[in-house]
Structure 1
């Protein structure tokens, strides 16, 4: 009895302090609910959503409070924006009104000095390093590698009765990207990078409860294994730096016709494929939120975003807005004949200073894979394909496909 009374009293004190802390902004803050003290509305935010549509958490609050509303997630006050104009301001005024920011759970997973949290000179320096690896000029020379990876995997899958396509494509992309960045060789590595990477990614947007069995706990364990693997690889590369490019250089030397395969010009001419990819990215909404933090009080359309508050831009609400996309849940690549690939209404790769550096590399991999799949193989879905957002995208029963080489 005394314990229960103590808990109730403690929660009451926290609630009062919680209200007093932001009382000076109450008249100008966006409408919304801060939920329970400490917990906030975290449990509603992470509730599973078996649909491509905007999550009920966002939908309900937009209907009730409008396109900009306040909430509290994982103990932090947060403003969520589904307003294209505010999103544009947030992205375009980075380092002036806003800065890149992630919840504390991200920092515990990535560390204090991870690339996404850096600002100013260090961010620009590291960004230039990555651009050198995945910029347009570099990608022109990578078309062969990307196509070779796609051809190898498709041949392997065609020899199987059924393929779990989601996992296999993820393996292909991760292996190619990791090989480019750190010379990762899945055949000769003592540990499975993807297995650890999947646990790592699934826990990024999960409830931060570090007990065995939770996604967050698996994420932290995956992080430790990935870091150990990277440390071992870097140590090996320091001992033998030339090893990095031997395999690909050998492949290029042994090719009889170095002009064979997809050329860069052919890739750039795939205009309908790019429409197809844009529509896929619009519906998939891989990133459920993009985080920033106000550097000072920001006034917008009569509301105030207090300095220090986090802001979450919500791409799904933008990409599935019926005011801009007619019949938004329908897969319709032809809509991109009228829509712009980069606008306030399409932010699949972010925007502004933090626009995804790997966007062109991702498009190259997807386009080249699709080209080889549709021109050389027939395929049909066998089972699976259901999705669940928590809020990240998951396929609980996979996507099972039969792939057969064309005669």
Structure 2
């Protein structure tokens, strides 16, 4: 009887597990799902996406599935059913449907990392996003860059390059730039004083390591380390916020000033929300600019002719000045055609993130398939930027290609900062910071790449072994 009972239990368990696996692999849908695979229970196909790809090309996870299933396919990543799209028409539709058919979305690990849940979700209500974007553009938009920030950026760049060269040491350009941008952004966001408070660049770098990791907050996991880093930064921002609430007259014209002023006028503004938004902006600003600068040193070493083109442009710019030692002006910045072509090419190849995430608010029919309500959608814009029909020899770094690309073609095939109403508000700040760094570096310094520069997508773009350079002042 015991044997019969055990056999019955095993049989029932087998049936239940088989049924569960079948349901995992064949999720419910009111229509036909795009082709694809849900992968293994719990983990889905996450492990394949996390395998490093030592190239600036599309990650093999995405590239192989496009070749197998087409430009739109279904999968499961970090426990979430997902549609991945490299279809230009569908991607354009998704961007246009913000707030109607789709909403901004983050993976669970990202939401927990930045407390983007409940009242803190910036995608919860449209006017929340509008408020945050408006405040950010007021601080870091074109008008602020033109009237005051460009000079502050140049002072920051000059001070850091002087320190790097003066140290006589080999520096990791990515790490050093992360620190420079982190201090600059933190100063304008919450009055961070680099001389009296702890360094934050390493903490921000810890955030990056935890993206797309499983949100298991137990000792020994990558996510646990990220949460500890988050707590450190959160304490710094919280202390500044409390101080500003008690003594608003000590304001510094930063993000916290505006947020504290609006704290009692907009119902969605809470202290937790302000802290979450501050940390999110800080992370995005630091990672995008520092990765671009690291790639610049990589391409300078690999394509010396690129440097020659830029040197000619910046030498001509300085020679036009009455005072050769005067600071960079807004008109000079806007005249840097070759520099902007260089920046565009870095951004075209150097997509930091594998895609842009949205969540379907309702069933979305497309081309005979259905994207179910509640599913995450990853919009892969980098497929446009690697399209050989638009960008000949797309994996080659060639800034000169941009002189033959018109504005309309670029707007449809070049989206390094996303698209639609959610296009990154920090785009102008990132480009201005990058261009100013290039201007000061090329005009006043020489450098040699010592080692490193190898990249890998895991799936975010990272430098496997850093990018180490020796920097020295010209005309010593």
Q: Taking structure 2 as the reference length, what is the TM-score of the superposition?
A: 0.77
Residue matched to 1:399: 467
1:379, distance to aligned residue in structure 2 (A): 1.1
Q: Confirm or deny that 1:76 pairs with 2:75.
A: no
Unaligned runs of 5+ residues in structure 1 are 247-256
Q: Confirm or deny that 1:223 pairs with 2:230.
A: yes
Residue matched to 1:305: 371
Once the two structures are superposed, what CA deviation does each residue of 1:369-397 show, in whole Å capped at 9, x if it has no partner? Answer: 10000011111100111112111122231
1:205, distance to aligned residue in structure 2 (A): 2.5
Given candidates 130, 143, 150, the residue that maps to 1:137 is: 143
Given candidates 146, 157, 160, the residue that maps to 2:164 is: 157
Q: Alignment partner of 2:225: what SS?
A: helix
Once the two structures are superposed, what CA deviation does each residue of 1:167-190 show, in whole Å capped at 9, x if it has no partner? Answer: 01111111111111111111110x
Once the two structures are superposed, what CA deviation does each residue of 1:311-355 show, in whole Å capped at 9, x if it has no partner? Answer: 101133332222322111111111112335652321110111111
RMSD: 2.4
Distance 1:235 1:374 in 2: 42
| Most deviating of 203-212 and 95-104 | 203-212
| Most deviating of 367-376 and 266-275 | 266-275
Residue matched to 2:282: none
Q: Confirm or deny that 1:358 pairs with 2:358.
A: no
Residue matched to 1:117: 123
| Most deviating of 334-343 and 152-161 | 334-343
Residue matched to 1:11: 17
Distance 1:7 1:322 in 2: 52
Q: Confirm or deny that 1:234 pairs with 2:214.
A: no
Residue matched to 2:359: 293
Residue matched to 1:389: 457
1:16, distance to aligned residue in structure 2 (A): 3.0
Given candidates 346, 349, 361, the residue that maps to 2:417 is: 349
Distance 1:6 1:366 in 2: 62
Q: Alignment partner of 2:412: what SS?
A: coil
Distance 2:400 2:377 in 1: 33
Conserved 8 A contact 1:88-1:344: no
Given candidates 80, 93, 96, the residue that maps to 1:92 is: 96
Residue matched to 2:401: 335
1:240, distance to aligned residue in structure 2 (A): 4.5
Once the two structures are superposed, what CA deviation does each residue of 1:147-199 show, in whole Å capped at 9, x if it has no partner? Answer: 0001001111112231111101111111111111111111110x321221111
Q: Alignment partner of 1:192: what SS?
A: coil
| Most deviating of 375-384 and 234-243 | 234-243
Conserved 8 A contact 1:40-1:71: yes
Once the two structures are superposed, what CA deviation does each residue of 1:33-71 show, in whole Å capped at 9, x if it has no partner? Answer: 111222211111111212111111011101100111000
Q: Confirm or deny that 1:266 pairs with 2:332.
A: yes
Cα gap change, 1:21 to 1:387, in 2 (>3 Å): closer
Distance 1:97 1:289 in 2: 19
Residue matched to 2:380: 314
Q: Confirm or deny that 1:48 pairs with 2:64.
A: no
Distance 1:169 1:142 in 2: 18
Cα gap change, 1:261 to 1:240, in 2 (>3 Å): farther
Cα gap change, 1:136 to 1:5, in 2 (>3 Å): farther
Residue matched to 1:204: 211
Unaligned runs of 5+ residues in structure 2 are 1-5, 254-322
Q: Taking structure 1 as the reference length, what is the TM-score of the superposition?
A: 0.90
1:260, distance to aligned residue in structure 2 (A): 3.5
Cα gap change, 1:119 to 1:346, in 2 (>3 Å): farther
Distance 1:104 1:86 in 2: 24
Write out aligned runs for 1:178-189 (5 A): 178-189=186-197
Distance 2:342 2:58 in 1: 21
1:399, distance to aligned residue in structure 2 (A): 0.8
Cα gap change, 1:284 to 1:213, in 2 (>3 Å): farther
Residue matched to 1:251: none
Report how many residues are paired. 393
